[in-house]
């Protein structure tokens, strides 16, 4: 049976006199795309395979197979061992021991996942588009509205006694549309997620995309200045995703993080507390265990501005005399684990978005950025294109476009003066609230 494939792999590893682990992933997915009311794409896929790490004489090899037959599992192990023999010793990569703590009890799969019919899912995509059109007659062009769902089974076993398995389900909706007013055409985008299609509000996704497009029409020029900036939850989440890379224990060990040598030091404003929580009840990246089979957990990374911890897998934790934090991550069964964030976020504040504007007085609300991938996680330097809404005397005004915000991530964190109460969970693990930052350089045309 499929559920026992990892056990067969471990039997074979033991037969070779090698240590190691086996990671089994089976998934089924569906993707639907609608553009201007027409269903353009319907794709259903199934993927399954096992990735195997083999540890032998201080060396580590990796291989994978899409077949669960014993003979093919044995062949994959032989390939992994052959690869290990060609590599130099790797004392820094270790196999996790069997954890003492229990795995979290969280809901990762909707029991009613199968209740939604294909027709209802197609209707959901059309509802996304209708929701955007209902915002304003100027919302008239659509790149696409889409729905994706996936259900997975993950099983892990190791020669150190780890044996765990869980199922998960996710459904995602998104919309990219344009609002047109004469020669002015502005694009808006939005997305949402849930454990299943039945829990997804397609109309709300469309309304947000339409609203974000309309509010950009008629943008004015902006003169370069240093000003107060409010980052909306979308933008805050994107910046947090870039920042999360700096917390990887392996990157700190390599000297490729802006947090090198800063443990126990202030790296942010005192109102900033940063969390990574892989077992958060409503987190989109929540799981019962990480991709080495270690229990997920809530890790306080920055506490009231002070760096307290990093993200670890078994290897980085060993090297830094720490404990794994449940942050081993794989892109699938065809890759070995590395370190990655789960649900990574700042503890929210108590201010409504309107109260943040009143507190800031004058500045710009950033609602969209481009180029977040260019943020340097080693130096923290960034310069990214942005757009948003100006505000004065605490009142939102017209849109601004063609601007850029620049600075350093550590300096930005130190300049956070207030946090919103509008905490929002995004697909992929992003969780964020509106964030007021004082004295940021905003370049105009």
Q: What domains sit in the chain, N to C, each tagged with a CATH number? A: 2-214 (3.30.2290.10), 219-445 (no CATH)
* Mean pLDDT, residues 156-171: 96
Residue 404 pLDDT exceeds 90: yes
pLDDT in tens, 103-147: 989 999 999 999 999 999 999 999 999 999 999 999 999 999 999
**Beta pairing partners, 302:** 274, 307
User: Quick one: how far is CA 367 from the chain centroid?
Assistant: 19
pTM, two decimals, is 0.93
Mean model confidence pLDDT for the chain = 94
- Contact between 315 and 363 (Cβ < 8 Å): no
Q: Provide the strand spans (E) within 304-425.
A: 306-307, 328-329, 338-339, 344-346, 363-370, 381-392, 395-408, 416-419, 424-425
Please state, in angstroms and rounded to a whole number, the distance separating the CA atoms of residues 440 and 411.
9
- At 27, is the secondary structure helix, strand, or coil? strand
Residue 19 pLDDT exceeds 70: yes
Alpha helix stretches (DSSP H) within 16-67: none
* Mean pLDDT, residues 41-64: 95
Q: How confident is the model at residue 55 (pLDDT cuts 50, 70, 90)?
A: very high
Please state, in angstroms and rounded to a whole number, the distance separating the CA atoms of residues 51 and 66.
9
Burial (Cβ within 10 Å: 0-12, 13-18, ≥19) of residue 388: buried
208 CB neighbour count, 10 Å cutoff: 20
* Mean pLDDT, residues 308-313: 98
**C-alpha distances out from residue 47 to 109, 154, 173, 332, 337, Å:** 18, 12, 21, 10, 18
Tokens of 108: 């990762």
What is the torsional sign of CA 399, 401, 404, 410? positive
Range name among 57-71, 89-103, 145-159 with the lowest pLDDT average: 89-103
* Mean pLDDT, residues 322-326: 96
* Mean pLDDT, residues 63-89: 94
* Of 76, 57, 86, nearest in space to 6 by CA: 76
Q: How confident is the model at residue 20 (pLDDT cuts 50, 70, 90)?
A: very high
Q: Can you give the pLDDT at residue 427?
A: 87
Give percent of the chain above pLDDT 70.
Answer: 99
Residue 3 pLDDT exceeds 60: no
pLDDT in tens, 245-298: 999 999 999 999 999 999 999 999 999 999 999 999 999 999 999 999 999 999
Q: Can you give the pLDDT at residue 1?
A: 43
Q: Can you give the pLDDT at residue 2?
A: 45
pLDDT in tens, 197-255: 999 999 999 999 999 999 999 998 888 999 999 999 999 999 999 999 999 999 999 99
């Amino acid at each position: 049976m499929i559920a026992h494939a990892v056990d067969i792999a471990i039997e074979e590893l033991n037969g070779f006199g090698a240590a190691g682990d086996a990671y089994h992933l089976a998934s089924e997915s569906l993707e639907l795309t609608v553009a201007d009311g027409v269903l353009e794409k319907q794709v259903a896929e199934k993927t399954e395979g096992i990735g195997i790490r083999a540890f032998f004489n201080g060396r580590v090899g990796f291989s994978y197979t899409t077949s669960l037959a014993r003979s093919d599992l044995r062949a994959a192990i032989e390939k992994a061992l052959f690869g290990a023999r060609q590599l130099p010793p790797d004392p820094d990569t270790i196999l996790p021991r069997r954890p003492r703590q229990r795995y979290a009890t969280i809901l990762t799969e909707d029991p009613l996942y199968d209740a939604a019919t294909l027709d209802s899912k197609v209707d959901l995509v059309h509802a996304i588009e209708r929701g955007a059109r209902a915002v304003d007659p100027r919302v008239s062009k659509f790149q696409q509205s889409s729905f994706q769902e996936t259900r997975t089974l993950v099983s892990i076993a190791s020669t150190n006694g780890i044996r765990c398995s869980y199922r998960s389900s996710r459904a995602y909706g998104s919309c990219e549309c344009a609002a047109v007013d004469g020669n002015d055409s502005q694009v808006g985008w939005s997305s949402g997620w849930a454990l299943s299609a039945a829990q997804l509000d397609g109309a709300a996704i469309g309304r947000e995309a339409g609203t974000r497009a309309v509010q950009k029409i008629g943008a004015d020029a902006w003169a370069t200045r240093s000003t107060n900036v409010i980052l909306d939850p979308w933008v805050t989440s994107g910046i947090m995703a870039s920042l999360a890379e700096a917390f990887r224990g392996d990157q700190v060990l390599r000297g490729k993080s802006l947090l090198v040598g800063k443990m126990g030091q202030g790296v942010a404003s005192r109102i900033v507390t940063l969390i990574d929580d892989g077992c958060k009840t409503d987190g989109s990246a929540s799981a019962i265990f990480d991709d080495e089979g270690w229990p997920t957990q809530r890790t306080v990374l920055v506490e009231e501005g002070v760096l307290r911890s990093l993200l670890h897998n078994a290897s980085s934790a060993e090297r830094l005399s720490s404990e794994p934090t449940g942050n081993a991550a794989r892109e699938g069964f065809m890759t070995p684990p590395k370190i990655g964030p789960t649900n990574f976020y700042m503890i929210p504040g108590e201010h409504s978005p309107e109260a943040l504007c009143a507190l800031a007085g004058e500045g710009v609300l950033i609602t969209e950025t481009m180029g977040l991938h260019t943020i340097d996680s080693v130096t923290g330097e960034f310069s990214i294109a942005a757009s948003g809404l100006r505000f004065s005397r605490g009142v939102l005004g017209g849109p601004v476009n063609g601007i850029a915000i620049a600075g350093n991530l550590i300096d930005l964190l130190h300049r956070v003066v207030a946090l919103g109460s509008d905490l929002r969970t995004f697909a992929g693990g992003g969780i964020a609230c509106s964030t007021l930052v004082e004295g940021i350089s905003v370049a105009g045309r």
